[in-house]
Structure 1
Amino acid sequence: MALLAQQIPRCFNSIKLSSFIKATQITKHSPRPRQTLLNGLVAPALLSSDTCFLQWGIKTYRTSSSWSSFQSANPHRHKSSAQSTLLPSVSERPERIPSLESELPPEELEDLPPLCPLQPVSEEVAIQIAAHPLLPLSSFTLGDYIDHSETLQQLVKLGVDLSKIEKHPDVANLLLRLDFEKDIGQILLFLKDVGLEDNQLGSFLTKNCAIFSEDIENLKTRVAYLQSKNFSKTDITRMVKNSPFLLNFSVERLDNRLGFFQKELELSVKKTRDLVVRLPRLLTGSLEPVKENMKVYRLELGFKHNEIQHMVTRVPKMLTANKRKLVESFDYVHNVMNIPHHIIVKFPQVFNTRVFKIKERHLFLAYLGKAQYDPVKPNYVSLDKFVSIPDEVFCKEIAKASVSDFEKFLKTL
C-alpha cells in the first residue's frame, strides 16, 4: 500500500505534464480567433484547467490514504479485495474532470485577467484602450479638473472665466463640490427670473460665483424686499447686473444702507431710490469713503449741504471717488480756471473727469484767447460741454480749430 501511495503523486505529475503539452499543441495548431485578438488569455485558461487537475489529484491521494488507513484497521481483508475496491473508487469519482481539449466559452475568456501587465498587446487592442487622465490630488488651477467635472464644463459654456475664479481658493473649492443640476441649475433659473440675459450670466458668475453658496429662499426674500421698497423689475435687474454681490447681502443690511443715505444726505424716498439704482454698489461697498468724501466737500472744498445734495444726485460717483482726485479737480477748476462754486454745482461732471484732460483743453482755449466760462459774458464756454464732448467736437464747436492744431499744441506742453 505504501508503494501505491508513492506512485500516485508521480502518476499525477505525469498526467499534469502530458496534459499541459497537449494543451499547448492544441493552442499552437488550432488557434481560436477570440484568443488571438485578446492576447494574454490563453495562459490563464490553461492555469484554470491545471488547477482542476491539481484538485482531482489531491482528492485521489486523500482517497488512497483513507483506504490505506481502513486496510490497516482490517488486516483480515484480502489484498485482491482491496484492489477491486480501490479501482472503482477512482473510476467512479463524483466530480467530473474538465478536459483541456474542451474550449471555454468566450464570455468566460473575457472575464479572465491578463497574465502580466507588461505583456505586449496587438495594435488593434491598443487603439481600443481608453486612457483617462488621473484626477490631481491638489492643484493651483481649475483647468486640471475640467475633464473630471461636469459643473466646470457647463460653467465654461456659459462664459465663466475660471482663471479669475481660481484666484479665490474658497470659491474654487466650492465649485468642485457642487452638482450642476442640483446646486447650480436652480440659481441660474433664479437669475433668469430676476432679468439677466443668457449672454450676461457668464460675466455675472465670473464676478460672483459665491452666490452658489446662498440659499435660494434667502435670495428670493431679498428680491421681494426690494420690490416692497417700490423698486421696479427693471431697477432690480439693473442693480443686480451692475452690482453682482447685491443679493449676497441680507435684508437687514440692505435696509440699513438705504436708511443711511436717506438720513445722511437728507434725501426723499424717491431720490434715495434713484441714487442707489444709478450706483447700486453704494449698498454693497464700504461706507468709510462715503463719510470721508462728505467731510471733504463740506469742510475742505466749502460746499453747502444743499449743494452737496444736488451734486451727488447728479453724479453719484462723487460719493465713492478718490479723495485726492476730488481735491485736485476742484483746485484746478476753481483756482486756475476761476470758476465759482455755484457754477461747479450746476456742472458737477468736472469731478468725474480726469484732471489732465481738463488742463489740456483749458490751456488750448487760453492759447486761442477763448477761455471764457462766465455765462453772463459773450463767447461763454459751457462747463458741461467742456468736459463731456470728444476732442473732435471740442475742436470744431468750442475751439474753432482743427484736431491737428490741437495735437500740435499738446506737443508743446
Structure 2
Amino acid sequence: MAMASTCAQLCLRCRSPVCKKIYTQVQCCFSTTRASTNICSGSFINRDDITIQSRLRWKQKMCYYNDLTAKYLTTAAKDKKQTVELSSDVVVNHSPLLPNKEAMLATENHISLDLDAPELSALEEISNEEAVSISVPSIPPMSASLRDYVDKSETLTKLVQLGVDLFKLEQRPNVGSMLLRLDFDRDVAPRLLFLKDIGVEDSRFGYIISHNPFILTESLENLQARVNYLKSKKFTAETVASMVSRAPYLLNFGVKRLDNRLGFYQQQLKLSASNTRNVVARLPRLLCGSLEPVKENLKVCEIELGFKENEIQHIIITVPKVLTANKRKLTQIFDFLHNTMKVPHSLITKFPQTLNCKFLRLKERHLFLEYLGKAQYDPAQANYVALDRLVSVPDEIFCTEVALTTLEDFDLFQKTL
C-alpha cells in the first residue's frame, strides 16, 4: 500500500495522459487489494482484520487526492499558463495543474473527515493564533490558587501590596473564599486602622494577616475590649502593640480566656503579677497556644531533670522559651551539660540560656575546648569558661577570646567530628 500511495502521488504531480491512466489503475489496484486476502509470512490476513483506524487514514488520503485534482482542474480552465521569472534570461513555465509542495502540504493540513473524525488529543500542540482565540472568563470560576484572582479582586491586590503571603493562606481550608468575599473598604481597612491606632507598625500588617487572616472578621468592639483588658492588667500600650505584632492570634481570644491563661501561669509557676507580665510580654504566644506542652515541660524540669521549684522559676523568668521547647531537645541538652560536661544544676540555673541553645554548637565547642585542654566550667578553678560565652558568642569571638586560637583551627577540628 505504501508503494501504491507513492505511485499515486507521482501520477498526481504529472497529469499526462499516460499518467492519468496509471493513476486510474492504481486506484483500481487499491480497491482490489483491499478486497482481497493478503498472505504475509505464511499466514492469511482477511479484510476483516483491517483496523478502523487504517480505513480512516485510507479514506482521508483518497479524499485528499480527489479534492486536489478537482481544485487544479478548475484552475486550469481559468488560467491557461503561469510563468515565474527565475532570472533576467531564464523563464520557466509552470502548469497550474502541477501543484507545488507548499500548496500540497497546506491543503493536506486542512483535510478532515466529516464522519467518524477522531477527537484531538489534549496533549496536541496548537498555534499561537489558536491559543489567542481561546476565550477565558474574566474571573476564574474555580482555581486552586489565589494568584488567579489578584488582578480581579481589589481586596487581594491591596493585601499583596501590604506584604500578605497568599501562598500561605491558600494552603488553609476556606480561607481563600473568605478573603474573596471581603470588601477592602468595609472589612479590611477598619481593622488595619485599629491595629495602627494601638501602635502596630505598618510593616507588621502583612505578617499578622498572613498568620491570622481571621482577625479581618473580628468585630471592632471585641478587638477593642481585648486590648482594654490587657491594659487593665498593667500592660503598657507599647507592650500590647509588641505582643500583637509577635503573636497574631492574641486578639482572637476572648477576655475570659486571656484572664484564665494569665491566672494559670501566675498560679502554676507561683510568680508575682509583675513577673507574670514580664514572662507573657516576652513570649506572648503563651496566651495563644495549648497548655498541655507547658504542663509537660514543667513536669520534665521537675521530675526528669531534677530542678527545684525556685530553680524552675528562675529559669522560666530568664528564658520563657523553655516552657514551649521541644521535650526531646530539652532533655538532650541537659543530659550533655550535666552528664558529659559535669555541670551541676546550680550552674545551669545560673546560665539557663544553655537550655535554649543549639545542641550541635554546644557539643562542637565543648569537644574543641576539651581537645585544647581548656574545658573548665567550675568558677572556682583557673581558666574558668562561662557557659553563656560558650553558647552565645559568635565563632570568631569564641575562638579568639574563649579558646584563644584561630577560626581556621576550629574549622579544621569540626571536619574531624
TM-score normalised per structure 2: 0.67
Matched, 1:377 2:377: no
Matched, 1:393 2:397: yes
Query: For the residues of structure 2 that align with 1:356 and 1:153, how far apart are their CA atoms?
Result: 44
Match of 2:167 in 1: 163
Match of 1:340 in 2: 344
Matched, 1:209 2:213: yes
Match of 2:250 in 1: 246
Query: For the residues of structure 1 that align with 2:198 and 2:212, how far apart are their CA atoms?
Result: 15
For structure 1, the 5+ residue unaligned runs are: 1-130
Query: For the residues of structure 1 that align with 2:151 and 2:353, how far apart are their CA atoms?
Result: 50
* CA radius of gyration, larger in: 1
Match of 1:20 in 2: none
Query: For the residues of structure 2 that align with 1:253 and 1:170, how far apart are their CA atoms?
Result: 25
Q: CA deviation at 1:136?
A: 1.8
Match of 1:107 in 2: none
Map Cα deviations across residues 51-83 of structure 1 (whole Å, 9 max, x no partner).
xxxxxxxxxxxxxxxxxxxxxxxxxxxxxxxxx
Match of 2:72 in 1: none
Matched, 1:402 2:406: yes
Q: Matches of residues 272-311 of structure 1 in structure 2 within 5 Å? A: 272-311=276-315
Q: CA deviation at 1:133?
A: 4.2
Of the candidates 404, 410, 416, which is equivalent to residue 412 of structure 1? Answer: 416
Q: Matches of residues 194-273 of structure 1 in structure 2 within 5 Å? A: 194-273=198-277
Match of 1:146 in 2: 150
Query: For the residues of structure 2 that align with 1:147 and 1:370, how far apart are their CA atoms?
Result: 63
Residue identity in the other structure for 1:397? E
RCO greater where, 1 or 2, for CA within 8 Å and sep 6 or more?
A: 1
For structure 2, the 5+ residue unaligned runs are: 1-134
Secondary structure of the corresponding residue to residue 400 of structure 2: helix
Query: For the residues of structure 2 that align with 1:335 and 1:132, how far apart are their CA atoms?
Result: 68
Map Cα deviations across residues 188-210 of structure 1 (whole Å, 9 max, x no partner).
10010121122221122111111
Residue identity in the other structure for 1:368? L
Query: For the residues of structure 2 that align with 1:297 and 1:243, how far apart are their CA atoms?
Result: 26
Matched, 1:325 2:329: yes
Q: CA deviation at 1:132?
A: 7.9
Of the candidates 135, 139, 154, which is equivalent to residue 135 of structure 1? Answer: 139
TM-score normalised per structure 1: 0.67
Query: For the residues of structure 2 that align with 1:143 and 1:408, how far apart are their CA atoms?
Result: 48
Query: For the residues of structure 1 that align with 2:167 and 2:301, how far apart are their CA atoms?
Result: 40
* 1:391 to 1:240, Cα distance in 2 relative to 1, 3 A: same
Secondary structure of the corresponding residue to residue 278 of structure 2: helix
Query: For the residues of structure 1 that align with 2:147 and 2:410, how far apart are their CA atoms?
Result: 50
Residue identity in the other structure for 2:286? L
State which drifts further: 311-320 or 171-180: 171-180
Match of 2:320 in 1: 316
Q: CA deviation at 1:169?
A: 2.9
Secondary structure of the corresponding residue to residue 294 of structure 1: helix
Residue identity in the other structure for 1:287? L
Query: For the residues of structure 2 that align with 1:317 and 1:276, how far apart are their CA atoms?
Result: 11
Query: For the residues of structure 1 that align with 2:359 and 2:184, how far apart are their CA atoms?
Result: 48
Query: For the residues of structure 2 that align with 1:318 and 1:384, how far apart are their CA atoms?
Result: 16
Query: For the residues of structure 1 that align with 2:194 and 2:208, how far apart are their CA atoms?
Result: 13
Query: For the residues of structure 2 that align with 1:296 and 1:219, how far apart are their CA atoms?
Result: 36
Q: Which runs of 4+ in 1 moved over 2 A?
A: 131-134
Q: CA deviation at 1:239?
A: 0.4
Map Cα deviations across residues 378-411 of structure 1 (whole Å, 9 max, x no partner).
1100011111001000000010000000111111
Matched, 1:352 2:344: no
State which drifts further: 131-140 or 392-401: 131-140
Secondary structure of the corresponding residue to residue 174 of structure 2: helix
Secondary structure of the corresponding residue to residue 169 of structure 1: coil
Secondary structure of the corresponding residue to residue 374 of structure 2: coil
Q: Identity rate of aligned residues, in percent?
A: 57
Residue identity in the other structure for 2:172? H
Match of 2:110 in 1: none
Q: CA deviation at 1:134?
A: 2.3
Query: For the residues of structure 2 that align with 1:303 and 1:156, how far apart are their CA atoms?
Result: 48
Residue identity in the other structure for 1:225? Y
Query: For the residues of structure 2 that align with 1:236 and 1:403, how far apart are their CA atoms?
Result: 43
Q: CA deviation at 1:147?
A: 2.2
Query: For the residues of structure 1 that align with 2:287 and 2:202, how far apart are their CA atoms?
Result: 25
